[in-house]
Structure 1
Amino acid sequence: MNYWLVKSEPFKYSWEKFNEDGRTFWDGVRNYQARNNLKAMKEGDLVLFYHSNEGKEVVGIAKVVKEFYQDPTTEDPNWVVVDLAPVESLKKTVTLETIKSDERLKDISLVRQGRLSVMPLKNEEFDRIVELSAQ
């Protein structure tokens, strides 16, 4: 299993709306590195859902329920989506500030490549964020 983090601005698509929908395709990715990350996602992979701009915090866990296919919002074949479904809300959100101050997360992509909207996580990074949410 692989682990990922996806970012969404809450006013565009919030964790709450995602839970109401129960499933969504992850569209709007227009960065080649993020697109390549979408293509690498496999069904069953776990995904941290991060609210960017407002909040700047990890709020929940989702999973990949359908692997990449053509982005239905564009005819450009360069862009793809995956389907995600919510798994659970974190007991306590984990802020970017907390992540930045945690020695075990100092090399996480969220800090190193802050503008990337879809990024891989190491197993231990995923586990550490979940652990921080339970404290």
Structure 2
Amino acid sequence: MAYWLMKSEPDEFSISDLKRLGTARWDGVRNYQARNFLRAMKIGDAFFFYHSSCPEPGIAGIGTIARAAYPDPTALDPDSHYFDAKASAEKNPWSAIDVAFESLFTQVLGLGYLKQQSALEQLPLVQKGSRLSVMPVTAEQWAAILALR
């Protein structure tokens, strides 16, 4: 099993939304490196659900991958914020996955707090200039974050 961290703006899609739905599509990723990470995910992999661009950015819970990567339908939908005019049904460069709810943290693990943890200094999330919305997490980093709850 691999571990990941995925970011979402909570006013668009939050861990509470995923809890309510049980499973949902994770779409709209428009960065090639992040897309490649989506494509590397396997059913059963776990991820930290990170709330970004909000008053308290941080890790809010855990989810799992419920369906491996498939073509992102939002790229073909002209009414979608994620529409890509260059994409077609035959050649869609973007991928989506389905995710399932696992757990909600009682308290968000804030970015400032995560940056203070020496065990996480190599985590791309805490490194200066890292803006990826999807990133791998090592088993050691996963365990260190779980220990902070």
TM-score (norm 1): 0.94
Q: Give distance in 2, aligned partners of 1:48 and 1:126.
A: 9
Q: Give distance in 1, aligned partners of 2:138 and 2:105.
A: 19
Q: Give distance in 1, aligned partners of 2:142 and 2:108.
A: 14
Q: Does 1:117 align with 2:133?
A: yes
1:63 maps to which residue?
Answer: 64
2:113 maps to which residue?
Answer: 98
From 93, 96, 100, the equivalent of 1:85 is 100
Q: Give distance in 2, aligned partners of 1:108 and 1:74.
A: 30
The correspondence of residues 44-59 of structure 1 with structure 2, limited to 5 A, is: 44-54=44-54, 55-59=56-60
Q: Which residue identity is paired with 1:127?
A: A
Using the TM superposition, give the Cα deviation of residue 11 of structure 1 relative to its aligned residue in structure 2, in angstroms. Answer: 0.8
Rg larger for:
2
Q: Which residue identity is paired with 1:102?
A: Q
The 10-residue stretch of structure 1 (113-122 or 28-37) with the greater mean CA deviation from structure 2: 113-122
Task: Report the count of equivalent residues.
Answer: 133
Q: Give distance in 1, aligned partners of 2:45 and 2:17.
A: 21
Using the TM superposition, give the Cα deviation of residue 92 of structure 1 relative to its aligned residue in structure 2, in angstroms. Answer: 2.9
Q: Which residue identity is paired with 2:72?
A: D
Q: For structure 2, which runs of at least 5 residues remain unmatched after alignment? A: 77-86
Contact 1:90–1:130 (CA under 8 A) maintained in structure 2: no
Runs of 4+ in 1 over 4 A off after TM superposition: none
